Amino acid sequence: MYEHNTSEQLGETLPMTTTISFSLNGDKISYEIKDHWTLLHLLREEMGLIGTKEGCGNGECGACTVIVDKLAVNSCLYLAIEADGTTIETIEGLASTDGTLHPLQQSFVDNGGIQCGFCSPGMIMSSKALLDENPDANREEIQHALAGNICRCTGYIPIFESVEAAKKMGGQNE
Amino acid sequence: MKPFTYLSPTTVEEAISFYGQHSETAKFMAGGTDVIVKVKEGWMEPDFLISLKRIKEMSELHKNEATKELSIGALVTHATLEKSLMIKNEYPIIYDAVSNIGSLQVRNVGTIGGNLINAVPSADGAVPMIALDGVALLHGPDGERSSDVKDLFLAPYKTILKPGEILKKITIPAQAPHTGSAYTKFGRRAAMELPLVGIGVLLTLDDDLETCTRARIVLGVAGPTPMRAFDAENYLVGKKINEDLLIEAGKLAADESKVRDSVRGKAWHRREMVRVHVKRMGLKCMNIIRANN
């Protein structure tokens, strides 16, 4: 659904390219972007970080969830230009460099929180934002926080159990 | 998505002046959770998007402790309102309404001002602002003006805002003692849903904690714009509130509602739900008032 090289359509008169700086999974990034790019487009199509998924593209499904300044957001509705100066976390930043999974990732694996896997990066990022803010979140709070993440395999119960189990593993830790 | 140039003014005046330069080719944007969808779908094709996010005063949530007036900047996000203990404790109708808008991802970005100006009949945010007698402060090329939030809406997707005008903030006047308020979003599922109907009730009681001195019954999706059920309100004022009276108020509100059939629900079902939930929200108000005394 994204067009590349769209500047020809409006001619070269509009200053549609902007350089933004942000922190991505702990790395300082500077990137030249087009004003109309979404953060999802920047991550997936430009930077090749395809862990973040595009589901509906309209903010309904949560597959594209990333964390911007500690808040879970739909990257499909978030303009890349508004990421300027922010701190962004994506699923790629969770595992350690030696390959050790983040407690949430390990817990999703151990507790059957993953079936087809398409919603998992979004589910895990929403869960991380929740546990970072509220390490003792109860079942109701977990459900409220994950209400915007749709799983079409309908594995919601094991997903909630995975988040609860991650709490005990120190899921709130970086 | 069609390309556009992004502009990020830092003052309201600058935002209005950007609009003056580009007029119809420009659109204002708050959180973007509605605007970006419209641009993606091609329903809106701006050459310039004027983001209001960097205008600091528009993101302020503040209660004046002297006048007890609450000021909600139009750029305050639903999540900010949801997380505020002051809102939860003192304005439960706002908490009820904003805590189930969209998803947390949407509430973290979407704003109360955007919710109002988008002007869908189902805007959860509009009901509490009307019930609390909120006043919208508008700022445009011709200066400032204000309007009761209840008069902000003309038709679905249409408000009284003129081209180039911005909703700056909503102010909520001091609430009388012995006031309770509650909202319910009635839908088929608990999350990621638009309401079939949204029902907000606010009651103020006299010092006897029985006689109603003020009633607000506000309905969403019960007509082309959010509406007050004046017959039901007038019926309650001056009477000693009990469950039977609230049942009658529910019937009056259901009769007044202009519900209709749509793909999401039938008129008769909506009317029944107005009837039932006006009573339930009324009882919830009474419980809140009694718990605070």
Encode pLDDT of B126-146 as tens digits. 999 999 999 999 999 999 999
Condensed to tens digits (0 to 9), the pLDDT of residues B165-211 reads: 999 999 999 999 999 999 999 988 777 778 889 999 999 999 999 99
Q: How far apart are the C-alpha atoms of B94 and B98, rounded to whole Å?
A: 6
Å from B2 to nearest chain A CA? 7
pTM over 0.95: no
pLDDT at A7: 42
Q: How far apart are the C-alpha atoms of A95 and A88, rounded to whole Å?
A: 15
Per-residue pLDDT band at A43 (split at 50, 70, 90): very high
Assess whether pLDDT exceeds 50 at residue A3: no
Fold (CATH) for B60-172: 3.30.465
- Could you tell me if B174 lies within 8 Å of chain A, comparing CB atoms? no
- Could you tell me if B109 lies within 8 Å of chain A, comparing CB atoms? yes
Assess whether pLDDT exceeds 90 at residue A172: no
User: Averaged over B64-81, what is the pLDDT?
Assistant: 98
- Superfamily of domain B179-291 in the CATH hierarchy: CO dehydrogenase flavoprotein, C-terminal domain (3.30.390.50)
Are B125 and B218 contacting, i.e. CB atoms less than 8 angstroms apart?
no
Q: CB-side exposure of B137: number of CA atoms within 13 Å?
A: 16
Task: Give percent above pLDDT 70 in chain B.
Answer: 100
**Residue of A15, A58, A149 lying closest to B5 (CB–CB):** A15
Check B3 against A10: CB less than 8 A apart: yes
Assess whether pLDDT exceeds 60 at residue A1: no
Per-residue pLDDT band at A9 (split at 50, 70, 90): very low
Sorted by sequence, the CB contacts under 8 Å of residue B189 that are 6+ apart come out as none
User: Averaged over B17-33, what is the pLDDT?
Assistant: 96
**Residue of A6, A60, A149 lying closest to B3 (CB–CB):** A6
Return the CATH architecture of domain B5-51.
2-Layer Sandwich (3.30)
Letter for the amino acid at A56? C
Å from B141 to nearest chain A CA? 25
> What residues in B contact A150, CB-CB < 8 Å?
192
User: Averaged over B143-150, what is the pLDDT?
Assistant: 97
Q: Tell me if domain A7-93 and domain A103-168 are identical in fold.
A: no
Q: CB-side exposure of B85: number of CA atoms within 13 Å?
A: 0
Q: How far apart are the C-alpha atoms of A91 and A95, rounded to whole Å?
A: 8
Assess whether pLDDT exceeds 70 at residue A5: no
pLDDT at B122: 87
Task: Give percent above pLDDT 90 in chain B.
Answer: 92
What is chain B's mean pLDDT, rounded? 95
Check A150 against B192: CB less than 8 A apart: yes
pLDDT at B191: 74
Are B252 and B141 contacting, i.e. CB atoms less than 8 angstroms apart?
no
**Residue of B3, B6, B32 lying closest to A77 (CB–CB):** B32
Assess whether pLDDT exceeds 60 at residue A171: no
Are B217 and B233 contacting, i.e. CB atoms less than 8 angstroms apart?
yes
Assess whether pLDDT exceeds 50 at residue A122: yes
Fold (CATH) for A103-168: DNA polymerase; domain 1 (1.10.150)
pLDDT at B287: 97
Check A62 against B103: CB less than 8 A apart: yes
- Could you tell me if A134 lies within 8 Å of chain B, comparing CB atoms? no
Assess whether pLDDT exceeds 70 at residue B88: yes
The burial class, CB within 10 Å (0-12 / 13-18 / 19+), for B146 is: middle
Check B1 against A81: CB less than 8 A apart: no
Q: Does domain A7-93 have CATH number 3.90.1150.10?
A: no
pLDDT at B188: 80
User: Averaged over B68-80, what is the pLDDT?
Assistant: 98
Assess whether pLDDT exceeds 60 at residue A6: no
pLDDT at A15: 53
First to last CA, chain A: 34
Letter for the amino acid at B215? A
For chain A, the domains span: 7-93, 103-168
Q: How many CB pairs below 8 Å do chains A and B form together? A: 96
For residue A58, the tally of other CB atoms under 10 A from its CB is 14
In chain B, list all ranges with CATH 3.30.390.50: 179-291
pLDDT at A14: 56
- Could you tell me if B101 lies within 8 Å of chain A, comparing CB atoms? no
Condensed to tens digits (0 to 9), the pLDDT of residues B219-261 reads: 999 999 999 999 999 999 999 999 999 999 999 999 999 999 9
Task: Give me the interface pTM, i.e. the ipTM.
Answer: 0.92
For B:253-282, CB contacts with A below 8 A are: none
User: Averaged over A69-78, what is the pLDDT?
Assistant: 98
Assess whether pLDDT exceeds 50 at residue A4: no
Phi-psi region of A100 (alpha: psi -120 to 50; beta: other; left: phi over 0): beta
User: Averaged over B103-109, what is the pLDDT?
Assistant: 97
pLDDT at A106: 97
Assess whether pLDDT exceeds 60 at residue A38: yes
User: Averaged over B268-285, what is the pLDDT?
Assistant: 97
